Amino acid sequence: MNDLVDLLGLDADGLAQRCADWGQKPFRARQLMRWIHQRGEHDFEAMSDLAKDFRASLAARARVAAPAVVSDRAAADGTRKWLLDVGAGNAIETVFIPEVDRGTLCVSTQVGCAVNCLFCSTGKQGFSRNLDAHEIIAQVWHANRALGAGDPARRARGERPVTNVVFMGMGEPLQNYGATLTALRILLDDHAYGLSRRRVTVSTSGVVPMIDRLRDDCPVALAVSLHAPDDALRDQLVPLNRKYPLAELMAACRRYLERAPRDFITFEYVLLDGVNDADLHARQLLALVREVPCKFNLIPFNPFPNSGLRRSPPERIRRFAQILADAGIVTTVRRTRGDDIDAACGQLAGEVRDRTRLAARRARATGAAMGAVGLAEAR
């Protein structure tokens, strides 16, 4: 079974290559793509315009299989969250956020995350592994099927519930570049999901070299998680900043804009009470982003157990937003969606078999720090 190639993870070139290997013409790849992604079909026997012997040989070599659903929850506001089993004790989360004019799916790219931002529940769990492209696309495939079920007419018209995809679930997409790129190509492909570049957003904590590669390979909308106006604070909140400091990140954003489908970068900024939410921080931000056309998306911190952090009070959030807006920057405060089912930003935890042994390392580091204090006192 494990030798079967999962066709969910093959983009147009990958599928054409496979079809060639199997002695099939290139248009077979396009037919397959339409069956799989547009009609949500997984049973090769049902793909009625494929020759019978091709269908049989596909069944022997390939499969179309999404991870099993461990749980499926709906929030009061219509947000849906699925927990998907990706094997070996690992599970990932996918969230669908319905709005009047669109349906946004928030997908995961890794089991856990190695960046370890101070305020993020996924980061706190450590890192297990990258997802394959088929596991990223399976989230979209599954959501469309789950949400479109019971409406064959709508499906036949090619209408799909997921109109926008944001790479803002578990993981850092630009630390899983290959699979993210393949998934993006499938999302944009007219024979698959046919989404425009503006409707697909990659969110990154700032992996500078990979921002440049994305610009060259497949420039979709870009969101950058900023969270602090200076390196000293950002080093604490987003440890990756020690490798790629703010000046480099801002320069990468400017380069990205040369090819981006939108003429701005979205900066995400989680507001943490007493940490990064003072008027001074807002004014420093204005100086930092002076040369980067941008919008700001302020995210009230979503708490999780033992975070030790608090959400900024509403009046502080309003004031912070006002300072940015008064300087002419379009600023929105993200409405918290699905928090009654822990589906809000930063609350996605899934199940992570931590292979970085983060928790153990942290405990040792705390122990060492306490030891050092003890030593100093003894002197």
Residues that bind ligand SAH (CB under 6 A): 113, 119-121, 168, 172, 203-205, 225, 268, 270, 299, 301-302, 345-346
Instruction: List the x/- string, 120-159, binding to ligand SF4 by CB under 6 A.
Output: x-xx------------------------------------
**What phi, psi does 178 have (nearest 5°)?**
-60, -50
CB 268, min distance to ligand SF4, A: 9
Cβ atoms of 232 and 192 closer than 8 Å: no
Distances (CA, A) of 113 to 134, 249, 355: 19, 20, 11
Residue (84 or 117) nearer to ligand SF4, CB: 117
Residue 41 is a catalytic residue? no
CB-CB neighbours of 272 under 10 Å = 20
Residue 116 engages ligand SF4 in binding (rule: CB under 6 A)? yes
Give least dist CB 122 to ligand SAH, A: 7
345 binds, among ligand SAH, ligand SF4, none (CB under 5 to 8 A by kind): ligand SAH
19 annotated active-site: no
116 binds, among ligand SF4, ligand SAH, none (CB under 5 to 8 A by kind): ligand SF4
The site for ligand SF4, by CB under 6 A, has a size of 11
In a 13 Å sphere around the CA of 18, the CA atoms on its Cβ side amount to 23
Amino acid (1-letter code) at residue 311: R
End-to-end CA distance of the chain: 64
Residue 9 interacts with, from ligand SAH, ligand SF4, none (CB under 5-8 Å by kind): none
User: How are beta strands 103-106 and 164-167 bridged, if at all?
Assistant: parallel
Which entry of 19, 45, 93, 294 is annotated as an active-site residue?
93
Compute the least distance from the CB of residue 123 to ligand SF4, in Å.
3
For residue 270, the partner it binds in ligand SF4, ligand SAH, none, with Cβ less than 5 to 8 A by kind, is ligand SAH
Q: Is the dihedral of CA 309, 313, 318, 324 positive or negative?
A: negative
Query: CA–CA distance from 309 to each of 27, 171, 204, 266 (Å)?
Result: 54, 21, 22, 24
Cα separation, 133 vs 137, whole angstroms? 6
Residues that bind ligand SF4 (CB under 6 A): 113, 115-117, 120, 122-123, 171-172, 205, 225
What are the catalytic residues? 93, 345
